[in-house]
A and B are shown apart, each in its own frame.
Chain A
Amino acid sequence: MAELFFFIAGIGAIAGAVGVVTLRNPFYCVLALVSHLLSLAALFLLLRAEFVAAAQVIVYAGAVMVLYVFVVAYIGGGEQPALRPPVGRGQRMIAGLCTLGLFAELMVATLGSGLKAIDSEGAPYRPGFGSPAQIGELLLTKFLLPFELASFLLLIAAVGAVVLARRRGGVGEAGDERRMSALEFARGPAPLGVGSMAEAAGDIPGGVDAESSGSVSSTIGERGGW
């Protein structure tokens, strides 16, 4: 039963991954990624890692994928021309050769091991290892500090993202004075040029001097931007 399950999930994972890189339509790509992630979650379950499996489904297949879909919807997929990397024929040949070499190496390594591990039961484990309860306990005892650090990391990453997103609307000349201040924010409607999501997406021109900032974003757009 476990073997059957393994092969189904394994094939699903590989098929999903192949789909992500081969499909043209971004929506289909995202769906393929979802199927890949779900298959991975199934593999985690086979490894008795319930927590990781659950996290995989909730965080990746759920939340992250929703974001992806949002982005794809914003940018408006569909008619995108296929991206053509600016590389020559020679480089492509080399890349292909490297890929082939890597594939051969992996095959040798995998087949060379005789796939012995497939028949075994894997490493012994304690009952309850990797269960949500145990992980939760670990996070609040042994790994309390990394856990807290991770939360701080998320905070600072968000700050960093805001810093970087702000430049999309352009930094006004005297932007300092117009920047969001906590009091102003509480007082009334959000001022312009604060780097809000709407500005980032281009709905509202950022900053009062919309013309100059418009030219900024167009310059960046031409150069590729972020």
Chain B
Amino acid sequence: MTLHLSILLWLPAAAGLLGLFAGRAARWVTLAGALLALAFSIALIADFDTSAKGLQYVTDQTWIAQLGIHYKLGVDGLNLFLLVLTTLLFAASVLWSGLDRVERPGQFFFWLGLAETAVLGALLAQDLALFVVFFDLMLIPFFFLTGSWGGPGRVPAVLKLVIYTLVGSLLMLTAAIATAVLAPGQGTTFVLSELAHRTLGTGSQEWIFLCFAAAFLVKMPAFPLHGWMPDGYRAMPMPVLAVFSGVLSKVAAYGFLRIALPLFPQAAAHYQELLLLIALATILYGSVLAFTTTNTRLILGYSSMAQLGFITLGIFALRPEGAQGAVIQAVNHGLVVAPAFFICALLAARAGGSEDLRDMGGIAARAPVLAALFLIVALANLAMPGSSNFVGEFLILLGVFNAKIVISIVAFTGVVLASVYTLRLFIRSMHNRVGPNVVSRDITVSDGLVLVPLVAVILAFALYPQLALHKGEATITRSIQPAAQAAAQPQIAATP
């Protein structure tokens, strides 16, 4: 118990705040903070006690006594690897933007540091109110990062993004308060472990669950609620987009496992099919659009959507293997999408600044290292057997197969489509006819500094996915257990 999670949580924001007054040195200060946080989270993995049940490194303090809100942080198998993913991607993003020279660096890195703290907070929080606080807070740094440093049309796009996603979050605020207020028992509490024992009535569970689901599905984004995604992705600066796409959507998936399933098991079982269908629709819609669009950012955006569909599918299989696959896939996707966006930026730089696939082609000619790295990322993205993504998707489909066989068969087409759009992206940019303004050159050392570690982690994870499987198994199984039981015995769930 020597590792204090508060240090991990506040380190990036503190570094960012320091950077605000550090002038030109802001990026180094923030980078130091991000790297320290990364080191901290790696130390967590090493120190994590796999055999222990429940939360570890718990920090529990009363924040607002009158409302029963605690400042409670903890790590278990569910969030351990997401924490590492977050710190890793943020470190890469800070490094990337540090090498890129942004305007007003003080403010930029302040917001980036705050964003990291907010995401870590949402992952670490073991109190419902604290989770809501960080979940809502996550958006504000991205609002500023996109609005001030984004591409053309950024202000309308970012307003749309923030309002769209906060709609869900605010509904969740009401739902969270209702969870605590309506729960039976003495006094009000927002601590998750307490709330798990105070099961709500089925009627309240259902509307509260729907509010939470709306918040998470918007954030992911899932099929009918993705309206903010194209504009937002187009306007965001690339380093920011890499963490946004890599991490924020995972927090939503994590929210299902951490909050929605354990607290509202009956409702989750009740709406299982609805959510499976939404997940399916998201997979198909995302895959098809990723196949048809030509903007490289949006290809990755829609591909992320499809991947998030898979993750949701795995969660709502309501079976241990599905949920495990979902967690692994969440980490995998984050690891893949961040370097993919970085490569996109490199490609755009080589295609005369255009991010359109039609303007690219033949970039591989004089860039063997770039091509090789891109190939690794692409193969990971299409879940090549041997990659960790394969393990994740396999577990997810296995879970769904055991729960709803028809859905798993349809979902399988998503896997096929993934190879199609990923290979299309790779081939049309790297090979094919040379684009009009394409100047092929290999990556520089500083590019490699960002890209190579990320790809190395993908490889490492592909070789040894058991690390995550093993450490997470017990917790993940426990978190979906109530919902799985409720789903298995619907007649009992119907009579509370």
Direct contact of A and B (CB under 8 A): no
A residues at B contact (CB < 8 Å) = none
B residues at A contact (CB < 8 Å) = none
